[in-house]
Structures are given as structure tokens and as C-alpha cells.
Amino acid sequence: MLRYLLRRLLLSVPLLFGVSILTFIVVALVPGDPAVRILGAGHTAAEYQAADARLGLTEPLLVQYWHWLDGVLHGSLGTSLFTIQSVSSTIAQRLPVTVWLIVGATLVSLVAGVALGIASAVWRGPLGRGIDAASWVTFAVPNFWLGLILIEFIAVKAHLLPTSGFVPLGQSSSLWLRSLILPVLTLAAVGVTGVAKQTRDAMDEVRSREFVTALRMAGLPAWTILLRHALRNAAIPIVTTVGLFMIAMLGGTILVEQVFALPGMGSLVVQAATDRDLPVIEGVVLYFTLIVIVLNLLVDLSYAWLNPKVRVAS
Amino acid sequence: MPSGSFFPPTRARRLGRSGSLFAVAALAIGALAACGGVNNGSSSATSSGSAAATGSAPKGVTGGTLTVQFNSPVSLNPALEGTSESDIVFGALDYDSLIYQLGDGTFVPDLATSWSYVAGSKNEIFDLTLRGGVHFSDGSLMTPASVVNSLEYFKKADGPQAGYLATLASATATGANTVRLTFAAPEPDLPFLLSQYQDIGQIIGPQGIAHSGTLTTTSDGTGPYVIDAAQSVANSQYLLTENPHYWNPAAIHYKQVMVKVIPDPQTALSAAQSGQVGALLSLPSTAQNTAKSDNLTVYAQPFSIASLILMGRSDPKSPLAKLPVRQALNDAVDRKSLATGLGGGSAVPTDEFALPGATGYDPAEANTYTFDVAKAKSLLAQAGYAHGFTLPVLDTLALDPNGDIGAALKTELAAIGVTVNLIETPSPAQFIPAALSKQYDAVIWPLSQNGTGFPYAVQFAMAPFTNVFGTTSTQLDGLLATAGAMPSSDSAAAYAKVGDFLTDNAWFVPLFSLTATLAVSGSVANVQPPSLQNTTIDPVAPDASLSWYPKQ
């Protein structure tokens, strides 16, 4: 298992390289000049060029990339062209917000999705049809629209939760939780129904196997059969679905953080892309890639935990 | 699909108990939601809409946190901030300016208690007397030397406003509390430039200048508040706490100010409606009616003029080089309809460089260009373009949300045979380099006007990216020089002649006023809308009677 982990981590290194190079190229191809935002309007082309030179942006792309890579290999992601703050400290400020958002949405998707999926597998009929309908709706509805609706009815009209903003956990645990509920629900909506559908389908498939009948005939309690045996056998496709949704949620945080004005990585990358703040864009893309790598690794490890055959094979 | 229930029927009934688990979870969430208030410490919302109250203001702190919504600052360093509204919010909260401009245009003392141009200097030498006993947020005393140091730093920092000090020949401390500014050319608008509406008068302390990197995350000014870097998150929220060294503590009414960056207008409106923020300092003008229906008090001040800037006037190859063509474009647009449809309810249509009541406006020139398609076509034919022509136009969605102005102009000019090739760019970072490329004959960009800064509005309209083909005019330069050398009390007619020149020569197609929109909840009192156009409302002021305070 350790060898497997090390191999996967080593394979991630060329992936990170590739992503960073691709990001550099894409940002270079996008029109725009960060010097405009720094200096403001009203300057000549020569003045913008001079500012670009001071920022190192007139050097060949390869040289710029090498400078950046050299910094990374020495533990520095560079500094923002606009705030002059180090990219690492900027990301350190923002990362927890996005992590809480994704962890929260994943937990909600997993718990609620699995529960609804089991329930609809057990009690067929309207519940199952309801989940199917809900999943179509949540797939079709843009998450930012859902967020605005939740804000309007739960925060504005009912005054139950705040409309926007984030309170750090260290400041107040109850306010922290309250600031995350609506964004997490917005992000988790499509995950809940997707996981529920997958759970129901997987449980239906497992239910039809002979070992379930044998366990029932052996007199085991129904909940024990359901949760300890059937669910475990149905878990791998569920975990795969959850993993895919977690990765999709990374992209979803961009819009959700804008709607709820959350100071996370999503809103950071939007601002950086608008400003063409290359060091920040590179830093955020690297972190997002690392997160995806870690998530995929966790999903693979969970397969091994759930299915002994996978452990033996690896 | 397998048939039958997973469980035998008797077991299925008992499983209803599991429903109680969900009910408990739902109750827990509901209880959590009910705990505590919705507010993050801001004063509670009343949604009465009656925010403006100019009764006697309290002296000193009477409230906790004033939470306001705004956009991301360009920079927290005044020398790098630029001419945007954010210098008024972020700059004014923590940096006093030398002079303060009231809503009616009057200049009153702030860090400077008196000022004047030296007689006979043609507005080139300016003396200031500084207020005594003023300290920076680190406790050090403000001296003439520190004011000189700050102005010199602004010039060296080469930020967006460094150009306003381009002709500053010297800044010298001439006495125990006096400073003299000497310019190489007339600078008739110095009181305005040194006010809270521009950054150069916002004095930065010596420690801040010595460690200028820190000015992007914290502050070193003499203003009522200080940025708390530890509690602030760049481009998300900024907490400013009361400055214990402020020279006029009676003017501080809130213990702290939280500026929340909420870019989405709907989210911002929801935050105000729910009481989470007390004021929205940056709303698009199109959100005015929604804000009013949310029981917020809306203030919409004309701030600039949406315009088509005809850069091709100096390109011999361009149809715009001919005056009748430029006049035709001016006659082809229905300004009234554009103002009504795109202005958000309070826009004023205009065909002049300045708005009614502002410097440079000439009532005699109003409606020089009326909406007359037949006349426009006749002018085009006269210029040899009876069949029209193609006009490449550059626009930016940052200042023209959804590209509405660009789309409207495209339709209106098509009626006279002018085919607009419209290119939209997402932000000024793409717009300005594209404009400088000389591929576009015209750009959609506001004619900017703040307070009495008319000559600077003209200068800005002739900036490199809005005058790429290098239009010059000795007549215009002469008119500006004449007006600039006159005392401000005598220059109105002279500046009106500058406006007339620009209108008659049709260098621009002004359309309608763009407003700076602000919405305030009922929890905030003493919001005083300015009577002077082209100014914005400040939450703080050097006078206790002008600063906002919590409504009791």
C-alpha cells in the first residue's frame, strides 16, 4: 500500500508541471495588461510597457516561467502583482474557506444522499420518483440561481441565516456554522440528488444478489443486512460518485463564493483572472490540482478499505 | 427493477422511527439558525427607508460597527489607488486629506486650516497652513516636513494620480506649520485635487512611506480609522478600527467600520435588506428601483457621462476626420430614450461635455444636437458618405454592463447607414491596450467629471488611450490656459467656452449621465446627499455634524 501511495504521488509531479505550463501559456494568450490596473487609465503605451518591464512581464515566456518555477522549488509562489502580498499567504488566508465549503458540501451530499438513496431503495414508489425529479431539477438549475433563491427566502424574508460573508471558526463557532449553511446547501444540492440516485441504483443491484437472501434467511436483523452488508457492497460506485462530485464542487465554489461573497479560492481566482495577476492564478491552479490529486487518492484508498480484493490486488 | 420492499411489512412500519432522526437533524439546524442574530455586529435593520436625517449629530462614538458594501480597492496605498470611488471609501476612512469638500462644493479645513494661491502667481504657487496637534496612526506628529514627504512620495510612486503632480516643481516647508507648493504651470483646481476626492492630498505618515510595502495591507494616515490587517482579507473584507490618535474624536461615531466586498448586486441588496450591511456604497444604477422597493433609501448622483469618444477625428483615413460626419453621429442618437432605458431612472440626457450646473456647461449650447435622423443622413451625404461607412468601436463590459450602451449605439447608428463593428472587452486591462493599438476609430468610455475638476476632465478625455491619433488644438489649449489662469470665482464663463469648443467640434458623442448610486438602510442616520453634482457621499468627515451615525 505504501509503495502504491508513493507511486501515485510521484506520478503527480509531472502532472503538476504540465498544469503549470499550460496555465502559463493560456494566461499569456489571453489579451490584457495588468499594468493598466496598476497604473490606471490615462497612461501612454510606453508607460505601460515600462511598468510591464518592472514587473518582469516583457521577458520571454520561458524565462518568466523559469523564474516562477525557481521560486516554487525554493518554496515561494511569488507575490501578487496588485496586493504585493505573497501568493502563499494570500492562499493560506483563502484556502480554509473553500475547504470548509467542499468538506461541508461533501458531508451533506454523502449523508443526505446515501440516506435518501437507501430510503428510496427500501420504500419504493413516490420517494424514488421524487428523487429522480429532484435530480433533474438540481442538474438543470444553475447553482448561483439556487443560491440567490435560498438567500431571498431563508436569509432575507425569514431572517434565519446571514445573506453573505464568512466568519472564521476561531471567531465564533456558531456564527461560523451559520455563515456556511446556505453556501454548503447550494453547493451540495446537485450532489445530494446525484448520490441518492447512485445509492438507490447500487442498492437495488446488491439487493438482488443471493447473499442478501441467504442473510435474511439466516435471520439477521434487517438493518444489519442493509447497512453492514448491502451498503458496503454498494459503496464503491457511491464513493466514485461522491469523488466525482467533490471534484466538480471545486469548480462550483467559484460561483457560490461570488454569490455569497465568501473570501475563498474561487473568488480569489476570479479576481486574479480579471486582473491578469499571473502569480496568483498559477498558485491557485496548483493548489486546485493538488486538491484534485488528493481527492482521487482518497477515493482510491477508500476502494481498498471497502473491498479487500482491491487491497490484495494492489 | 427488483420488486417488493426490502423489508417485511411489519419491519417497514417500525422503520418510520428512523424518520425521527431526520426530524431531529432538521430541528437542530433550525435551532442553530435561530441562535444569535443575523447581523455580524452591524446595527439592526429597520427597513424603514428613512436613512437621511440631518438632526443634531452626537459627539463621539455611539455605535459599534458600521458595515458597508463596496468593490475591491485597486490598492489600499493612496499613492497607488487611482481615481475611482474606492479612494473615497478606503482613503477617506483612514487618511485625512488636506482640504475637505462639502456636498455643496465649498472647501473647508481638514488637515490644512487655510490655503491660498499667491497673488500674481497665475495659480502656480499655493500656500497651505497646517492644523496643529495632528498625529498619524502610529502616534507620530504630522509636520510640514511629513506633508512634503508625502507629496514627494506620491510623485515618485508613479501611481495613477502621479500625473496631477507632474508640474510640481517643489514642495517646501516654509514655517512651523506652513507648506508652499510651486508648480511649473497653472494649477487652478488645487483645492479640489487636495480634497478627499483625489488621493494626492491624503497625507501618508513617514513610517508608512519608509515601509511602503505595508501600505497595501494596512494604513498610516491621520484619518478616523486604521486598517486592521489581521482581521482583513484582501478583496473580501476590510476591518477598520477607531484611531486612538485621531485629532477630532468627536467626529467618530462608530467604533469600527467593516467594508465588505460584495460584487454581486443582488447579494449586496439582500445583505442590506436583511440588515447585514448598513449601506451599499457601490450599486449599478440599474439596481436603483430594486433598492427602493427593498425599502432602502437610494442616492443617485451624476458622476460621469456615458459617451462615444471619436478618436478617429485626427486620422485622415477615417470618416470621423470630417466635422459633418461627427455632427451626424451626434444627431443620430436619441439621448432621451437612451437615458430612460439605460440610465436606471435618474440619468440626464446631454449633448455637452459637462452636465447642467457643472463647470463647463453652457445653457446656450444645450440641444445643439437633437435627435434628427434625416438631418444626420443629410450631413453624411454632404461629407460624401451617403451610403454610410463601417465604424470599428471598442467597448468594455466593466463600464457598460451587458454591453447595453454598445448595443444601443449599434442600432441607432445603423439607422443612418453607419455599421458599427463592436468589440467588447471584459475589463480595462484588455480595453486600454486594445484602444492604444489604433485599430479602433471610436471607444465607448465615460467623460469623467468630479466636483469642479473640469480641466482634468478634459485632460482625461484626451488621455493617450482616448486620443490615440494625437488630436491637438492650439485654440483649445489657449482657451484652457486662459481659464486656468483666472481665479476660480471668475472662470465659469471661460470654462463654458471650452465646453462650447468641444460641443461645436463634436469630438465626442455625449449620451447621458452615469450615476454613482448609494443605498442606505434605516439603521444609519445623517446621510447628507450633496447638492453639487458629480460628488459622492462620504461616511466620515472632519466635522462631527457631517459623519454618519447609528440611528437611535
How many interchain CB pairs under 8 A, A with B?
A: 185
In this predicted structure, the answer to whether residue A104 has a pLDDT above a threshold of 80 is yes
Q: pLDDT tens digits, residue range A285-314?
A: 999 999 999 888 888 888 877 776 666 554
Q: Assign residue A98 the CATH number of its domain.
A: 1.10.3720.10
Coil, helix or strand at residue A223 = helix
More confident residue, B417 or B7: B417
pLDDT score for A310: 61
In this predicted structure, the answer to whether residue B54 has a pLDDT above a threshold of 50 is no
ipTM attached to this prediction: 0.78
| A186 and A238 part of one domain | yes
Q: pLDDT tens digits, residue range A120-177?
A: 888 777 877 887 788 778 888 888 899 999 999 999 989 899 999 898 898 889 999 9
Residue A29 covered by a domain: no
Contacts of A201 in chain B (CB under 8 A): none
More confident residue, B85 or B15: B85
Contacts of B426 in chain A (CB under 8 A): 274
| Number of compact structural domains in chain A | 2
pLDDT score for B52: 40
Confidence of residue B10 (pLDDT cuts 50, 70, 90): very low
pLDDT score for A39: 74
Contacts of A116 in chain B (CB under 8 A): none
pLDDT score for B222: 96
Residue A87 covered by a domain: no
Beta bridge partner(s), residue B444 = B308
In this predicted structure, the answer to whether residue B22 has a pLDDT above a threshold of 80 is no
pLDDT score for B84: 58
| A231 and A273 part of one domain | yes
Confidence of residue B85 (pLDDT cuts 50, 70, 90): low
- Among the ranges given (A153-162, B159-168, B377-386, B493-502), the one the predictor scored with the smallest mean pLDDT: B159-168
For the beta carbon of residue A103, count every other beta carbon within 10 angstroms.
14
In this predicted structure, the answer to whether residue B40 has a pLDDT above a threshold of 60 is no
CB contact under 8 A, B433 and A268: no
In this predicted structure, the answer to whether residue B246 has a pLDDT above a threshold of 70 is yes
Q: Which of A102, A90, A56 is nearest to A248 (CA)?
A: A102
Interchain contact B261–A (C-beta under 8 A): yes
Interchain contact B233–A (C-beta under 8 A): yes
**What predicted TM-score, i.e. pTM, was given to this entire model?**
0.78
CA distance A152 to B270: 7
Give me the domain span that covers residue A46: 34-76
In this predicted structure, the answer to whether residue B510 has a pLDDT above a threshold of 90 is yes
In this predicted structure, the answer to whether residue B394 has a pLDDT above a threshold of 80 is yes
Residue A14 covered by a domain: no
Write the residue in B15, B158, B216 that is nearest to A84 by C-beta. Answer: B216
> How large is the average pLDDT for residues B427-452?
84
Q: pLDDT tens digits, residue range B419-430?
A: 999 999 988 888
Interchain contact A220–B (C-beta under 8 A): no
> How large is the average pLDDT for residues B347-367?
87
Residue A209 covered by a domain: yes
pLDDT score for B358: 79
- Among the ranges given (A27-36, A57-66, A247-256), the one the predictor scored with the smallest mean pLDDT: A27-36
Confidence of residue A274 (pLDDT cuts 50, 70, 90): confident
Within 423-482 of B, beta carbons closer than 8 Å to A belong to 425-434, 436, 460, 463-465
| A52 and A147 part of one domain | no
Interface test with A, best of B10, B270, B304, B397 (most A CBs within 10 A): B270
CA distance B462 to B378: 29
Interface test with B, best of A54, A111, A156, A182 (most B CBs within 10 A): A156
Average pLDDT, chain A: 87
Of A76, A104, A134, the last residue of a domain is A76
| A113 and A44 part of one domain | no
Average pLDDT, chain B: 84
Q: Which residues contact B398 (CB under 8 A, 6 or more apart)?
A: B426, B427, B428, B431
pLDDT score for A309: 67
| A71 and A179 part of one domain | no
More confident residue, A150 or B63: A150
Cell of B15: 422503520
| A120 and A201 part of one domain | yes
> How large is the average pLDDT for residues B367-390?
96
CA distances from B386 to B232, B319, B324, B402 (A): 60, 12, 12, 32
Q: pLDDT tens digits, residue range A190-247?
A: 889 889 989 988 888 888 888 888 888 888 887 888 888 888 888 888 888 999 999 8
CB contact under 8 A, A48 and B433: yes
Contacts of B12 in chain A (CB under 8 A): 122-123
pLDDT score for B450: 53
CA distances from B95 to B74, B98, B136, B227, B256 (A): 16, 10, 9, 10, 15
pLDDT score for B5: 38
| A146 and A224 part of one domain | yes
Of A76, A101, A131, the last residue of a domain is A76
Residue in A closest to B218 by C-alpha: A83
Confidence of residue B83 (pLDDT cuts 50, 70, 90): low
Strands (DSSP E) found in B136-253:
168-173, 178-183, 225-233, 237-242
- Among A116-125, B92-101, B413-422, name the most confident range: B413-422
H or E stretch at B443? strand B442-444
Interchain contact A29–B (C-beta under 8 A): no
What type of residue is B115? W
| A259 and A144 part of one domain | yes
Confidence of residue B449 (pLDDT cuts 50, 70, 90): low
| A68 and A97 part of one domain | no
| A113 and A244 part of one domain | yes
| A246 and A173 part of one domain | yes
In this predicted structure, the answer to whether residue B11 has a pLDDT above a threshold of 60 is no
Q: pLDDT tens digits, residue range B267-288?
A: 999 999 888 899 998 888 778 8
CA distance B438 to B394: 11
Q: Which long-range contacts (CB under 8 A, 24 or more apart) does B53-56 make?
A: B53/B525, B53/B526, B53/B527, B53/B551, B54/B526, B54/B528, B55/B525, B55/B526, B56/B545
CB contact under 8 A, B263 and A164: no
Coil, helix or strand at residue B362 = coil
| A116 and A219 part of one domain | yes
